[in-house]
Structure 1
Amino acid sequence: MNQNSAQRMPVRVMILISLYVVLTLVAIWRAITFEAFDLLTLGVIPVFIGLLIRAPWTKVLLLSYVALQSLGLVAMTTTALIAYQITPEDVKLVFRGYNIPLIPLWLLLLSVVVFQWWVGLSNATRDYLAQK
């Protein structure tokens, strides 16, 4: 087979793999530093490995992981909105002394989740994972 006829990795999958490299490093750092072993944190590792080796089970795992992220985002958003109705001055996120604005953070997280859904449900990803 000619090397030029081999299907190249779609750009959206490359971006997703790059995102998962960062998330995997953060998950490993969090697991080592805080001894936090949870599905939302460490679930990125099998998805990342599956994308790299183009395993047939990767699409199911990717969609399950993004669904879990979506559920977590909805739960945290709902909790924050309820807390804001009760005591607005207490609804803030402080990390190492820095006050992180919640609306831009929520928009960033929402865009990351929507991007993952878009990549996971695209035909380009299906074709990439089907061809080995």
Structure 2
Amino acid sequence: MKLRRGPRPWPVTVFAGVLLAAASWNLGADLKPALAHPVEAERIAMVSAASARFCILAIPAAAIWLLGSRVARWFVTLAAVGFAAYKIAGTIRFGLADGDGTGRLLAGLALNGLTVLLFTPSASRWFAAGGPRDALARD
């Protein structure tokens, strides 16, 4: 794949920026207790898990913003739908476990709601103008 040139539509920029900001925030929140953990093996495992969570969010966001990847767009959409269904089903089945559960549930669903930005008319035109859809097409 080649890097996309030219300006990105604002929905794509907002989506990628918010997703990367959330990934960075989660990385910082996960690393703080991990680095203070007294057992080295568990500290390494916690840092590795935090880094993996960061990459799971950062790689699709970068693929969408830098490459205009249609596959990443649909991957993020399917992951958001699956996450929303999982969270809603868990809330219905078990209720909110703690007092802060409502805020976290709504924040997670709002972050997933950003996926709608990838399907606005300007973003759809930008993705469609990205080049050939055929995997065998050559430049």
TM-score range, shorter chain: 0.5 to 0.7
- The answer to whether the 8 Å contact 2:12/2:123 transfers is yes
Distance in 2 (CA, whole Å) between partners of 1:39 and 1:121 is 27
Q: Which residue of 1 aligns with 2:9?
A: 10
Give the strand-richer structure, 1 or 2. Answer: 1
- The answer to whether the 8 Å contact 2:26/2:54 transfers is yes
Q: Which residue of 2 aligns with 1:128?
A: 126
Root-mean-square deviation over aligned CA pairs: 3.2
Report the alpha carbon displacement of residue 79 of structure 1 after superposing the two structures with TM.
Answer: 1.8
- The answer to whether the 8 Å contact 2:20/2:61 transfers is yes
Q: Which residue of 2 aligns with 1:21?
A: 20
CA-to-aligned-CA distance 1:56-85 (integer Å, 9 cap, x gap)? 5x222122123113212211221222123x
- The answer to whether the 8 Å contact 2:117/2:123 transfers is yes
Distance in 1 (CA, whole Å) between partners of 2:97 and 2:109 is 18
Give the TM-score, by structure 1 length: 0.62
Across the two proteins, how many residue pairs are aligned to each other? 112
Report the alpha carbon displacement of residue 16 of structure 1 after superposing the two structures with TM.
Answer: 0.9
**1:1-132 matched pairs, under 5 angstroms:** 8-26=7-25, 28-29=27-28, 30=30, 33=34, 34=46, 35-36=48-49, 42-53=55-66, 55-56=67-68, 58-84=69-95, 91-93=96-98, 99-102=99-102, 104-116=103-115, 118-129=116-127, 130-131=129-130
Which ranges of structure 2 fall in alignment gaps of 5 or more residues?
35-45, 132-139
Change (3 A) 1:126 1:40: farther
Report the alpha carbon displacement of residue 22 of structure 1 after superposing the two structures with TM.
Answer: 0.9
Amino acid at match of 1:125: A
- The answer to whether the 8 Å contact 1:13/1:125 transfers is yes
Change (3 A) 1:21 1:59: same
Report the alpha carbon displacement of residue 46 of structure 1 after superposing the two structures with TM.
Answer: 1.7
Report the alpha carbon displacement of residue 31 of structure 1 after superposing the two structures with TM.
Answer: 7.2
- The answer to whether the 8 Å contact 2:11/2:118 transfers is no
Extract structure 1 runs of 4+ deviating beyond 6 A: 37-40
Distance in 1 (CA, whole Å) between partners of 2:74 and 2:51 is 18
Secondary structure class of the residue paired with 2:49? coil
